[in-house]
Every structure is written in structure tokens, then in C-alpha cells.
Amino acid sequence: MDELRWQSYTACMISESALLGALRRYWGFNSFRPLQKSIVQSLAGGRDTCVVMPTGGGKSLCYQLPAALLERQTAIVISPLIALMQDQVAQLGQMGISAALLNSSLQANEQSRIMRGASEGAYRLLYLSPERLARADTVAWLKSIPISFFAIDEAHCISEWGHEFRPEYRQLSSLRAHFPDRPIAAFTASATQRVRHDIVEQLRLRNAHKCIASFHRPNLRYVVKQCDARTQSSLLQKALRSYADRNVIVYVPTIARVEETVSFLEEQGISAIGYHGKMGADARRRNQERWMSDEVRVLVGTLAFGLGINKAAVRAVIHLALPKSIEQFYQEAGRGGRDGLPADCVLLWQKRDAALLSYFIGQIADAAEKKRAWQRYDEIRGFVDSKMCRHLQICTHFGENPKWKSCGACDVCGSEPDWLSLRPKAEPAAARRAAVPSVGQSARGTPQSAGKAGGTSADGAELREILREWRRVAAKQQGVPAFVVMHDTSLDELCRARPASLSALLRVHGFGERKVELYGEQIIAELARFREMANTRRR
Ligand code: ADP
Ligand code: MG
Ligand code: ZN
């Protein structure tokens, strides 16, 4: 039986047109991002695969698409956060791909319903937490399921050398022994050579197809500035005023600083919400949703926020303390500009952060762990102190060897956001905002000018508000976050393209067949109503 199954994989070379067809049909996307196609083919062909791709590169699709195509089989996806798995299952549902999440917070009867379904091969993807997979009864049960492959998301959590080590991930190293003939694929956005090696070793990957994308994110501008507490607050204020109406993440090191920063900003009349690991699950989810649905633009969080967060249009990520490592900085900062448009990644650090970090490292009892922590500390100190291009430093850190020496998009190379430079503004903000680049443009402009595409005309801004309101209501009815109904990029494109028919809507980015089926009539009706309204006014 196992022998037969194995053969069915190796025989499974999916044609390019079938891949593109699925991309169109389910996702509503026109083309693959770099490396996606070869990763999908590798997985569909049953090969162990190790993927290192920056945040926002599109890793989820790399395992979701082959899973969708391997009919009557189920891909088992391991991911560290329940909230994240819930979002993915909801999104897959909206795309017409059958998926479920099995976790202990579900009612017993709900769990057995899902398990029964899985045994019958009802799901293309089944999400599990690493703890769940470690249970002997889960392993025994999984052996009766037609598994297509295992996908380990955020795989760097398995390595002590990584900055997000999770002991539960260690147990994944027995996966190979339990399922010797199932392909295993590992995905991470954050891996130095050492961590990569660890992932391959621990998961016992065999002759793995290794796909390593470049870590260079040309649409990000890295800016590092050392300051004192006073300057830091005033810069933060200036920054948030200048990114008004845009999504911003502010990272702070402690829970106390989350609360402090939120109230400071509220006092200044800037609305912000907090997010940290000690919040109740409900409050956390509520806050995350308020931010996801653009209700509040500024989110202040500890690093608990963001692992795999799927919000594409973030225009700035501001760190108010020195991160523990370059990897941590890179990953958190990388949550900006996932839509490919310009975003600022600003690190405003204080001398005392360094002192605090060294103090905590001094407290680490385990000698090996302490050594690793010091190494990470030295690297991040080197990063902020260095006079070398920030982009170049990051690429070098991840083992790349870029040809260029200067980027034009970092403080060292002489690029800074207006709010940081002392020079008076050369032109009024309104004039700058008028220059809105089209979505998909990846060259750098000022982040202030990117953002609300379709908001150039008063009429576009109004339509955007109407569609956002429609999205809010639709999301509420379905009990899913707003971005699951439709991403901001799709919203912007709707405002530009204003499709008048279902077939025209199918051509809009992010609208696959299922989504058009679900919402097409409503959206076309909203757009028609809007046109009608605009015509009446004109008359
Ligand atoms: P990662 O896990 O690598 O951080 P995600 O899988 O969350 O990235 O994808 C980031 C964003 O890119 C998502 O909004 C996703 O829909 C989008 N995306 C992925 N692949 C494509 C593609 N081929 N074309 C357009 N958008 C894509
Ligand atoms: Mg991801
Ligand atoms: Zn540079």
C-alpha cells in the first residue's frame, strides 16, 4: 500500500498549465512569484524540500497549492500559532479549498467530526500544532490517513540557534521515523546558514530540494538612529503623524512598554491599540482584528505580534528598542511592505537597551545558550554601529554576496524619511500625496506617497470607504477577519478597475472562482449603486 502511494507521488508531475490554472481559479493570481513554481513542483513530485524565503515572499501558497491539487490526499501543516492557523483555514475555505484545524481548544465532538472527515480524506490540508503532533495517539491516527506531505511552517522554531526557538518543535524530529515514506517540507523566513543546517538535520530531510530566495527587500528603507528617551518619543509622534492613515506597527520590548506607549499616543490624539502575549486570547484577537480591518491604524506590540501575520499594506515598522538579533529585526521589520510598495523600517534605539540586553544575557544559566545569545548581541550591535549599507549588511548576514555596495534606501546610503530630517519640508504634503504609484511597482518612492491607490480622486476615496464598509459587514456575517474576505490590494484594484460584470471581477487580483461565487453579485451591485449615485450628482 505504502509502496503504491509512493509511486503515485513520483508519477505526479503536474503540468505548468495545470499549476497556473489552479493559481487563477483558487487564488485569482496571474503569475507565480520567484521560486514558487519550482517549490510547488517539488512538493507535488513528492520530494523533501527546504524553503528559505523572506516574510511576504508567499510561502503559504507553496504548500497550499500542491495540497489542493493532490486529490484524495491530505497535507499536514504544522504551525506555531493557533490564530494563524485559524486565519489560513478561513482563507482556504473562502477559496474553495477544503481545510481544517485540529486543536485541543475545540469541543470533543467537533474534534471527532474533523478526525472522521480526515480519515475519509475530506481535507486537502489539515493544520496541527506541534504539541498535537507529538502525541502518540495523534501519530497512530495519522498513520491511517492518506497523507500527501508534511509542511512545517516557521521551521526555524526548531533550532536553538534561531531567535524563536520553541521546545515543542524539537519533537518534530521523530516525524521521519514515524512516516518514513512521506515527504517533508520546511518553510522559514529567517535562517542563517547555521539554522538552515539545523532544520535539515533535525527534520532528517533526505536529498532535499533547497530553495533559498534573496533576502534583499528593495522596497524597504532601513533607518537606524540612536537617541535618548525624549527624542525617541518626539520622533515617534512625528513619524506617526506623517504616516497618518497608513498602517504602522510599533515594536516595543516589554508588556509594560506596550501599555505605556499606547496611552502616550492616545494622549497625543493618535489612536493606537496594543498587542502582547499576556493579553487574554479574546482581547488579543479583538485587537488584532481591529487592526486587520483598518479600524485602528497603529498597532503597538511585543514580538508576540506578527508571526506570520498576513497584512500586506503596512507602510512603516518602528522599533523602539534594540532587537535581540539581526534575524529578529529583519523578520519584524519585514512585516512592512509585503505588498511590494515602499515601506520604512525604523530602529530608534537607546544606549540603555544594550545595557538591558547584556544584563539579561548575563542571567542565562545554560552556557551554550549564553554563548549563542552573546553572538546574536554582537551581531546586532555591529549592525547598528556599522557605517556599511544596511541592506548589504543584512544580505551578508544571511550568507548572500551582493554585487552592489550601496542601496539608496537606507540611512547609511543617505536616504531618510522627511520626519526624521531636520530640513524644512520642500513641498507641501498634499502635492507629495498626489503622486500615487501603481500597485505592484516595487521601486522606491516616498512611503508617504504610496498607500491608498484609488484614493487620488475624491470619488475614488469615497468608493474605497464604501467597499471597506461592505467588507466589514461581510466579514462580520461570516465570522472571519476582514482581510480574509479581501485584501487591501484587491480593494484598491476594485476601486481602479470598477468591474461591471462577474467575468470582469474574475480578472481582479485576488478574486478566484469561489470568491466571485461568494461575493461577486454583492460587489457588482455595490459598484453599480456607486456609479448611479455619481451620475445623479453630476446631473
Ligand atoms: P510568507 O508566509 O512568505 O510571509 P504569505 O504566504 O503570507 O508570505 O504571502 C504574503 C502575501 O503575498 C499574501 O498576501 C499572499 O496572498 C501574496 N501572494 C503570494 N503569492 C502570490 C502571487 N503569486 N501573486 C500575488 N500575490 C501573492
Ligand atoms: Mg508565512
Ligand atoms: Zn544602503
Q: What share of the chain is helix, strand, coil (3-state, %, to 5)?
A: 50, 10, 40
- 150 or 332, which is more confident? 150
pLDDT at 309: 60
Extents of the domains making up the chain: 3-212, 220-434, 447-538
Homologous superfamily of 220-434: P-loop containing nucleotide triphosphate hydrolases (3.40.50.300)
Q: Fold match between 220-434 and 447-538?
A: no
- CA distances 81 to 86, 169, 527, Å, are 9, 12, 37
Buried b (16+ CB within 10 A) or exposed e, 422-451: eeeeeeeeeeebeebbebeeeebebbbbbb
Q: Are 215 and 330 in contact (CB under 8 A)?
A: yes
CA–centroid distance, residue 512 to ligand 1 (Å): 15
pLDDT at 90: 94
Give CA–CA dist 108/118, Å, rounded.
15
pLDDT at 454: 41
Q: Is the pLDDT reported for residue 448 higher than 50? A: no
- 303 or 33, which is more confident? 33
Whether ligand 1 lies within 6 angstroms of the CB of 32 is answered as yes
Ligand nearest to the CA of 390: 3
Q: Are 189 and 414 in contact (CB under 8 A)?
A: no
Q: Are 112 and 162 in contact (CB under 8 A)?
A: no
pLDDT at 410: 97
Q: Nearest residue CA, atom 10 of ligand 1?
A: 56
pLDDT at 15: 87
pLDDT at 453: 42
Q: Considering the chain, what is the average pLDDT of its residues?
A: 87
Among all chains, which residue has been given the C-alpha cell 486543536?
103
Q: Is the pLDDT reported for residue 20 higher than 70? A: yes
Whether ligand 1 lies within 6 angstroms of the CB of 338 is answered as yes
- CA distances 43 to 8, 295, 388, Å, are 13, 39, 39
Neighbour tally for 201: CB within 10 Å: 12
Whether ligand 1 lies within 6 angstroms of the CB of 490 is answered as no
Q: What is the pLDDT of residues 54-86, one digit of tens each?
A: 877 899 999 999 999 999 999 999 998 888 899
Q: What is the pLDDT of residues 228-284, one digit of tens each?
A: 999 999 999 999 999 988 999 999 988 999 999 999 999 999 999 998 878 888 888
Buried b (16+ CB within 10 A) or exposed e, 482-502: bbbbbbbbbbbbbbeebbeee
Whether ligand 1 lies within 6 angstroms of the CB of 37 is answered as no
pLDDT at 426: 45
> What percentage of the chain reaches a pLDDT higher than 70?
90
Q: Which is it for strands 209-212 and 147-152: parallel, antiparallel or unpaired? A: unpaired
Give CA–CA dist 82/422, Å, rounded.
45
Question: Which segment, 7-16, 213-222, 421-430, is predicted with the most confidence on average?
Answer: 213-222
Q: Is the pLDDT reported for residue 303 higher than 70? A: yes
Q: Is the pLDDT reported for residue 445 higher than 90? A: no
Q: Is the pLDDT reported for residue 423 higher than 70? A: no
Q: What is the pLDDT of residues 181-191, one digit of tens each?
A: 999 999 998 77
Q: Are 350 and 226 in contact (CB under 8 A)?
A: yes
**Residues 493-500, mean pLDDT to the nearest whole number:** 94
Give the 3-state secondary structure of residue 223: strand
Homologous superfamily of 3-212: P-loop containing nucleotide triphosphate hydrolases (3.40.50.300)
CA–centroid distance, residue 343 to ligand 3 (Å): 15
CA–centroid distance, residue 519 to ligand 1 (Å): 21
Q: Which is it for strands 272-275 and 343-349: parallel, antiparallel or unpaired? A: unpaired
Confidence of residue 482 (pLDDT cuts 50, 70, 90): confident
CA–centroid distance, residue 307 to ligand 2 (Å): 8
Lateral strand order in the sheet of 220-226: 220-226, 343-349, 314-319, 247-251, 298-301, 272-275
**Residues 22-32, mean pLDDT to the nearest whole number:** 95
Q: Is the pLDDT reported for residue 216 higher than 60? A: yes
**Residues 8-15, mean pLDDT to the nearest whole number:** 58
Whether ligand 1 lies within 6 angstroms of the CB of 73 is answered as no
What CA dihedral angle connects 27, 33, 39 and 45, to 10 degrees? 50
Whether ligand 1 lies within 6 angstroms of the CB of 312 is answered as yes
Q: Nearest residue CA, atom 24 of ligand 1?
A: 29
Confidence of residue 312 (pLDDT cuts 50, 70, 90): confident
CA–centroid distance, residue 61 to ligand 1 (Å): 7
Confidence of residue 12 (pLDDT cuts 50, 70, 90): low
Give CA–CA dist 396/408, Å, rounded.
17
Alpha helices, DSSP H, located in 96-252: 108-119, 130-134, 136-142, 167-170, 175-178, 193-202, 229-242
Give the 3-state secondary structure of residue 142: helix
Confidence of residue 483 (pLDDT cuts 50, 70, 90): confident
Q: Nearest residue CA, atom 9 of ligand 1?
A: 58
Between 3.30.540.10, 1.10.150.80, 2.120.10.90, 1.10.10.10, what CATH number should domain 447-538 receive? 1.10.150.80
Q: Are 157 and 191 in contact (CB under 8 A)?
A: no
Three-state DSSP string of 23-71: HHHHHCCCCCCCCHHHHHHHHHCCCCEEEECCCCCCHHHHHHHHHHHCC
Among 24, 33, 317, name the best residue to mutate to test ligand 1's pocket (greatest count of ligand atoms within 8 A of Cβ). Answer: 33
Measured in whole angstroms, the distance separating CA 90 from the mean position of its chain's CA atoms is 16
